[in-house]
A and B are shown apart, each in its own frame.
Chain A
Amino acid sequence: MQVKSFIYATIDNRSDLPDLAACPAGGIDAAPLEIVRYRDIAAIVSAIDVNQFAADVPGEIASGQQEESHKAHLLKYQQVNAFLLGQTGRNGMLPLKFGFTASDNEEVAKVLEQAYVQLRTYLDRLQGTMELVIQASWELPKILQEIVKDNPEVAGADPVQAGRMLFEAAEIKKRQLVAAIHDKLSPLSKDYSDAPLKADSMIINRSYLVEKDQEPLFDDAVDAVATEFEELLTFRYIGPLPVYSFVNIELNQGNYAMVDKSRKLLQLPERASWETIKSAYRQLILAHHPDRNPDDPQAAQRTKDAVAAFGIVRAYCQSLPGFAEPDKSSEFSFAQEAVEQAFIVDNKGAVLARAKAGEKPA
């Protein structure tokens, strides 16, 4: 049995902390919930047996039994986060992606330290908010009948033509409906995010980011929308949820091989300030850009490589505590120990998705 710390969420540590004892039946596998603090933020964690948990990470092949336990774990993860959402009130609460573990609580504190800037920024931005989900579905045949009623010429057209016209009309209708729903709800929300449609009949599956005290107003607006389109659509209204759809923080341990290769491509020494890095990148672009080398077919490729390398080095540097400091002269280390200790955090996860798929550090 190998025990690790599973992180559910990070919360604001500046005022009253939630009463974890009040959480029914603790965390995953009934392990007690704990708090790990760093400066004014904190993580909610519980101990977990990793061997059992390995199959929970998406992408791995799971047996039927494992799938059951995966479902149970996911449910527990959601319950804990829902509980935290209720407890934190006006304060910030940030659910982390399901499946993030660190070797122990000390390591969790280190994650908080490394990712402090990003976590703090997200916490401030999402303070006092919740997620509310609207799903709407229609009955396509009913809609098509209505379209035919409104456009009798469709019936006369040849079948292929008519099919296309119907499809196009339905698509337009769908957009109109989605826009009508959105126009009513978006003024009461701060942001929105679309999730994949779960069935052919579903036309919208959208999460709204709503201030906690706006919830009653948003409820009323959803009621009004549901009444207005009662004839055409079936609605599902889910929430309040922690703001899952509005946080996209992925934490990855630094991938030394990739960072090192990029650093060397930019011809940087093992320690460099942000100014030095930027200037080295500019020099490379100025030297290799195809506009400067119209007769060199390889110039475009060299430019593309430099752009990619800079993206990786930038993501690495942004993850280091020194980056946000106004004193730009601080130097970043590209030594193996430094890179492997760092947690590269990128709010898009774009660079990191590649870091994950690429060579993993041994």
Chain B
Amino acid sequence: MNKTIGIDLGTTNSCMAALVGGAPVIIPNAEGERTTPSVVAFMEEGQRLVGTSAKQQQLGNPQGTITSIKRFMGRRWDEVSEEMAIVAYPLAKGGNGDVKVAVDGAQYAPQEISAMILQKLKADAEAYLGESVTDAVITVPAYFNDAQRKATKDAGRIAGLTVLRVINEPTAASLAYGLDQSDDQTILVFDLGGGTFDVSILGLGAGLFEVKATNGDNHLGGDNFDKAIVDWLIGEFKREHGIDLGRDAIALLRLYAAAEKAKIELSTMLATQVNLPFITVTAAGTEHLSIELTRVQLNRLSAALIDRTVGPILQALADANIDADGIDHVVLVGGMTRMPAVQDKIRELIGKEPHQDINPDEVVAIGAAIQAGVLQGEVKDILLLDVASLSLGIETKGGVFTRLIERNTSIPTRKTQTFTTAGDDQPTVEIHVLQGESEMAAFNKSLGTIMLVDLPLARRGLLEFDVTFDIDANGIIQVTAEDIVSGNEQQIRIEGGSGLEEDEINRMVKRADEYADAAHRLRELAEVRNHAEVLAAEIELSLDEYCSQIEASEASLITERIADLRQAMEAVDASEIRTRTAALVDAAQVLRQEGDEEESLFF
């Protein structure tokens, strides 16, 4: 059986884990890091970088460096104004209202960019584990809606991974803790990551992890804290120097990087100095930024953001029908939970000391690996019963949102609703499907409309259809309609929703494959060239040393073949280089015999 890995595909960093000998371990990437920055860089000549190398070159290539792509997954253009203000790379509106990344003279769907990150993780995992990796469990924020979940699954497909399951990040985190399973326990998971905030409450007993309630804020994460710091730095600098750094793209990127660093430092220190020499150039000369940021000041800047976590926590407690006293364990997830002010807020609300024994950056990936083990039958004493995090419903008269499946219903679940025609001889019935918590349809996320067409002529109310809404264990929705009279069942596509069409995905899979091939060829070419270069240099050296001891014709043959090889190395045909390398080695055998008498020179 192929190995299944668990992947935490994060806004800022991604992390992967697998079960090795029954225990979950973090898989380091090719660079040896336990987490991989979720950054993709487009370089000249179609080269791409993923991870730390991509992050490091961001300053020199702000337009071609894609960060925080998760914030755009499955989102529509008109939903992401807040996100657009944070990123430096250009975005475009796709044909169906989706967001596209415009880079490198092409447009990429966010799913493709995520797939590039997944491709690297897959390749690195294969190298580390020494076996092929085809299946994965990928985590998503609990508050991800149907479109965002589908987009994540599609990203996996594009990267050549079969996504066995999409699971909620806070739920995965609770799996990682396993906790003491003898008694019934109630766990609260607080997950503040780079881009999203989730809170989940789980009941644990007899090996069953049952999610009771989940809530969150899709627009709240570490990036928002960085922005608050950057805005403050810009304000301070403007006050002192009268210059608005917000207009300078490069300065902004440096400010964001410095803000993130300062924020992290202030988790352990009480004050830090933000130093950005040569931040900008004016007619008066170069200006340097040097501002002290204290933890007190940071807490002041982030108080409003931290307060945004309170509402979702209280709502989740209310939905789970439990008081703060009823929480037995608090689990922290995401780098932002290292911030002392965040931890203080949790202590204040729940009155419990949070667990911190597992690294909050790794806990989700570990949980995903455990769920992968459950799905493979390798882990037998754990079962996860998750919930739908958003209510599913339809638009009814007057723009009202009518819930069919309430949020926090255990999944998988299914609900059937009977629809009928409202007018005589009505040829079609249109059903607008939405997800969200507002009473008004307009404020919820539209998943699209279902059209029942070619209806037979009949008086109103005579035709009846059972429309079944099904949410699977991934939290992904499927709709089927049955004509009650004829019993004809049909699978309905939800039209007009965001997301990729089937043939689009296939095209992207191909594009990703081609790139993987090309990247593989490039790597191979580099290795062959490298080997040839070293070899030619060494043979040249020993030829100098031993030319007196061999035939002149032999010497000239070697010289000629070195030249041949060097000529081939200028081109990109790896097999030609290999052939000529072999020919050179062959001709240089005579040198080897000479050399053997002293020491082995090469081969």
Binding site for B on A (CB under 8 A): 168, 171-172, 175, 193-198, 278-279, 282-283, 285-286, 289-292, 294, 300-301, 303-304, 307-308, 311, 348, 350
Cβ of A3 to closest chain B Cβ, rounded Å: 36
Cβ of A66 to closest chain B Cβ, rounded Å: 22
Residues A282 and B438 in contact, CB atoms below 8 Å apart: no
Pick from A291, A308, A311: contact of B374, CB below 8 A.
A291
Chain B residues whose C-beta falls within 8 Å of the C-beta of A198 in the assembled complex: 398
Known: A194-B440, A197-B398, A197-B440. Is A300-B207 also a contact (CB below 8 A)? no
Instruction: Categorize the interface residue count of chain B.
Output: 20 to 34
Cα separation A303 to B438 with both chains bound (whole Å): 29
Q: Besides the contacts A291-B374, A291-B375, A307-B410, what 5 more A-B pairs have beta carbons closer than 8 Å?
A: A194-B438, A289-B385, A291-B383, A294-B377, A304-B414
Chain B, residues 408-441, CB within 8 Å of chain A (1/0): the string is: 0110111000000000000000000000001110
28 contacts between A and B (CB under 8 A): A171-B78, A175-B443, A194-B440, A195-B439, A196-B399, A196-B400, A197-B440, A198-B398, A279-B206, A282-B206, A282-B210, A283-B206, A285-B385, A286-B206, A286-B207, A286-B208, A290-B412, A290-B473, A291-B375, A291-B383, A291-B473, A292-B383, A303-B412, A304-B413, A304-B414, A307-B409, A307-B413, A350-B403
Cβ of B219 to closest chain A Cβ, rounded Å: 13
Pick from A172, A290, A294, A348: contact of B78, CB below 8 A.
A172
Cα separation A171 to B440 with both chains bound (whole Å): 13
Residues B472 and A300 in contact, CB atoms below 8 Å apart: yes
Most chain B beta carbons < 10 A, residue from A172, A196, A291, A311: A291
Cβ of A293 to closest chain B Cβ, rounded Å: 10
3 smallest CB-CB distances across A and B, nearest first, come from A194-B439, A307-B410, A196-B398
Chain B, residues 350-394, CB within 8 Å of chain A (1/0): the string is: 000000000000000000000000110100000111000000000
Known: A196-B400, A307-B413, A350-B406. Is A291-B384 also a contact (CB below 8 A)? yes
Chain A residues whose C-beta falls within 8 Å of the C-beta of B246 in the assembled complex: none
Cα separation A307 to B411 with both chains bound (whole Å): 8
Cβ of B573 to closest chain A Cβ, rounded Å: 47
Cβ of A337 to closest chain B Cβ, rounded Å: 28
Residues B406 and A348 in contact, CB atoms below 8 Å apart: yes
Cβ of B96 to closest chain A Cβ, rounded Å: 13
Residues A285 and B398 in contact, CB atoms below 8 Å apart: no
B205 touches A (CB below 8 Å):
yes
Chain A residues touching B, majority SS: helix
Cα separation A171 to B205 with both chains bound (whole Å): 47
Cα separation A193 to B440 with both chains bound (whole Å): 10
Chain B residues whose C-beta falls within 8 Å of the C-beta of A348 in the assembled complex: 406
Chain B residues whose C-beta falls within 8 Å of the C-beta of A311 in the assembled complex: 409
Chain B residues whose C-beta falls within 8 Å of the C-beta of A301 in the assembled complex: 414
Chain B residues whose C-beta falls within 8 Å of the C-beta of A294 in the assembled complex: 375, 377
Residues A300 and B412 in contact, CB atoms below 8 Å apart: yes
Cβ of A344 to closest chain B Cβ, rounded Å: 16
Cα separation A350 to B406 with both chains bound (whole Å): 8
Cβ of A65 to closest chain B Cβ, rounded Å: 25
Known: A279-B206, A282-B205. Is A304-B473 also a contact (CB below 8 A)? no
Chain A residues whose C-beta falls within 8 Å of the C-beta of B210 in the assembled complex: 282, 285
Most chain A beta carbons < 10 A, residue from B374, B398, B403: B398
Cβ of B188 to closest chain A Cβ, rounded Å: 20
The B199-253 residues at the A interface (CB cut-off 8 A) are 205-208, 210
Cβ of B472 to closest chain A Cβ, rounded Å: 7
Cβ of B126 to closest chain A Cβ, rounded Å: 24
Residues A197 and B399 in contact, CB atoms below 8 Å apart: yes
Chain B residues whose C-beta falls within 8 Å of the C-beta of A194 in the assembled complex: 438-440
Cβ of B204 to closest chain A Cβ, rounded Å: 11
Cα separation A355 to B582 with both chains bound (whole Å): 82
Chain B residues whose C-beta falls within 8 Å of the C-beta of A307 in the assembled complex: 409-410, 413
The B117-158 residues at the A interface (CB cut-off 8 A) are none
Residues B78 and A304 in contact, CB atoms below 8 Å apart: no
Cβ of A125 to closest chain B Cβ, rounded Å: 10
Chain A residues whose C-beta falls within 8 Å of the C-beta of B377 in the assembled complex: 294
Chain A residues whose C-beta falls within 8 Å of the C-beta of B440 in the assembled complex: 194, 196-197
Cβ of A308 to closest chain B Cβ, rounded Å: 8
Chain B residues whose C-beta falls within 8 Å of the C-beta of A292 in the assembled complex: 383
Cα separation A311 to B384 with both chains bound (whole Å): 18
Residues B438 and A168 in contact, CB atoms below 8 Å apart: no
Cβ of B322 to closest chain A Cβ, rounded Å: 13
Most chain A beta carbons < 10 A, residue from B210, B375, B410, B438: B410
Chain B residues whose C-beta falls within 8 Å of the C-beta of A290 in the assembled complex: 412, 473
Residues A168 and B78 in contact, CB atoms below 8 Å apart: yes
Residues B439 and A196 in contact, CB atoms below 8 Å apart: yes
Cα separation A85 to B312 with both chains bound (whole Å): 31
Chain B residues whose C-beta falls within 8 Å of the C-beta of A303 in the assembled complex: 412
Chain A residues whose C-beta falls within 8 Å of the C-beta of B403 in the assembled complex: 350
Cβ of B148 to closest chain A Cβ, rounded Å: 20
Residues B439 and A282 in contact, CB atoms below 8 Å apart: no
Cα separation A311 to B387 with both chains bound (whole Å): 13
Closest to A200 in B: B399
Most chain B beta carbons < 10 A, residue from A172, A294, A304, A348: A304
Closest to A198 in B: B398
Cβ of A154 to closest chain B Cβ, rounded Å: 16
Cα separation A125 to B206 with both chains bound (whole Å): 35
Cβ of A122 to closest chain B Cβ, rounded Å: 13
Chain B residues whose C-beta falls within 8 Å of the C-beta of A304 in the assembled complex: 412-414
Cα separation A282 to B207 with both chains bound (whole Å): 9
Chain B residues whose C-beta falls within 8 Å of the C-beta of A168 in the assembled complex: 78
Cα separation A102 to B478 with both chains bound (whole Å): 42
Cα separation A131 to B413 with both chains bound (whole Å): 36
Cβ of B482 to closest chain A Cβ, rounded Å: 16
